[in-house]
Amino acid sequence: MKNYKVGIIGATGMVGQRFATLLENHPWFTVTALAASKRSAGKTYKECVESRWAMTTPIPKAMEDMIILDAANVEEVASKVDFVFCAVDMPKDQIRELEEAYAKAECPVVSNNSAHRHTPDVPMVIPEINADHIKIIDSQRKRLGTKKGFVAVKSNCSLQSYVPAVHPLRELGCNKVLACTYQAISGAGKTFERWPEMVDNLIPYIGGEEEKSEKEPLKIWGHIEGDQIVDTDDIAITSQCLRVPVSDGHTAAVFVSFDGEVPSEEKIIETWENYKGRAQELELPSAPKQFLHYFTEPDQPQIKTARTLEHGMAISIGRLRPDTQYDMKFVCMSHNTLRGAAGGAVLLAELLCAEGYIEN
């Protein structure tokens, strides 16, 4: 039976709360340290989050009376855990410094932050897609001079709506993608109470999101060359990202073209339904049994069905049909705060434990 002591850096924030909730009854992970800024340090978790608890389930009982540590006291936090999850709202250069300080204290970091996504020896992993990238950790450890410590990150939540569906199509020759994303307000850390302008509204701009949606997949589909991950250059992606009045769940309308013969609709659906990644092979606790689900009804998937499918960790796809400009088009959906954020990071941590990169 695996049992790891886990810390949450940024435990008081929106993503930190989600980690606390997901880890409450986790079969492998026990939360032994909660950390945040100096403003929270010394107070109990309950005192810090009671007035800003944003989850639908209560504050985990076992964490209510835990004393928040100052995340800057790296040695103290690291001494209490086998690894940490990190989700902090700080300038990017400070996040990079903080995460490397934990790694250098021999404490692995599984990060929700974007600061290290393009560091060439930091793996950015969707466990069903590029689990093999965790091998780059050996090179990162050499650079940092560590035996156990390293940083691994999850990708942006927007692309996790469509990259999983496109991934198996690459084997069938998919080399061109146009993706329009329709993103929930929780992706901006908001609720309708806290963002009343979003009720009955749509905003056609999410700062930096289109760049991330086009660039991050190239690293995910990249390969290890020497001591770095090199982006792929065999697929072209363009995207538009819109904010829509939905609480949780990102949608993508996707158009794809293929190099050579266009596969039939039956072949594509069969490819999706049979796809298994490393997370399924290892039967990781947070992995969906089936990663990609195809819905045949013309009015499915809807965000309400997609949100609850396999505890918010599977991808819902529907409306596959030929297109006049591209070869095929379809829609897909994923839960942005579960699969796209904290849930994806927990799954990544499970992969790193199962593959021996995190030890207890």
Binding residues for ligand NAP, per CB under 6 A?
10-16, 36-37, 39-40, 71, 87-90, 112-113, 157, 186-187, 189, 337, 341
Could you tell me the CA-to-CA distances from 263 to 18, 27, 164, 294 in Å, in that order?
Answer: 40, 41, 18, 16
Tell me the C-alpha distance between 336 and 5, whole Å: 26
To ligand NAP, the closest distance from the beta carbon of 320 in angstroms equals 29
Cβ-proximal residue to ligand NAP, closest one: 13
Q: Which of 48, 86, 107, 157 is an active site residue?
A: 157
To ligand NAP, the closest distance from the beta carbon of 187 in angstroms equals 5
Nearer to ligand NAP, 17 or 268 (CB): 17
Residue 178 structure tokens: 């146009």
Percent of residues in the chain assigned helix, strand, coil, to nearest 5: 35, 25, 40
- Is 157 marked active-site? yes
Nearer to ligand NAP, 52 or 142 (CB): 52
Full strand arrangement of the beta sheet holding 69-70: 69-70, 29-36, 4-9, 83-86, 109-111, 151-153
To ligand NAP, the closest distance from the beta carbon of 300 in angstroms equals 26
Nearer to ligand NAP, 309 or 342 (CB): 342
- Is 293 marked active-site? no
To ligand NAP, the closest distance from the beta carbon of 49 in angstroms equals 8
Tell me the C-alpha distance between 34 and 14, whole Å: 14
3-state DSSP assignment of residue 352: helix
List all residues 6 or more positions away from 259 whose beta carbon is below 8 Å from its beta carbon.
Answer: 173, 174, 175
3-state DSSP assignment of residue 270: helix
Q: Which of 116, 133, 167, 250 is an active site residue?
A: 250
Tell me the C-alpha distance between 25 and 182, whole Å: 32
Backbone Cα Rg of the chain: 20
Residue 217 structure tokens: 């997949």
To ligand NAP, the closest distance from the beta carbon of 287 in angstroms equals 21
To ligand NAP, the closest distance from the beta carbon of 103 in angstroms equals 16
Nearer to ligand NAP, 23 or 354 (CB): 23
**CA-closest candidate to residue 252, choices 183, 203, 300, 186:** 183
Tell me the C-alpha distance between 124 and 116, whole Å: 9
Nearer to ligand NAP, 279 or 341 (CB): 341
Query: Which residues have a catalytic role annotated?
Result: 157, 250
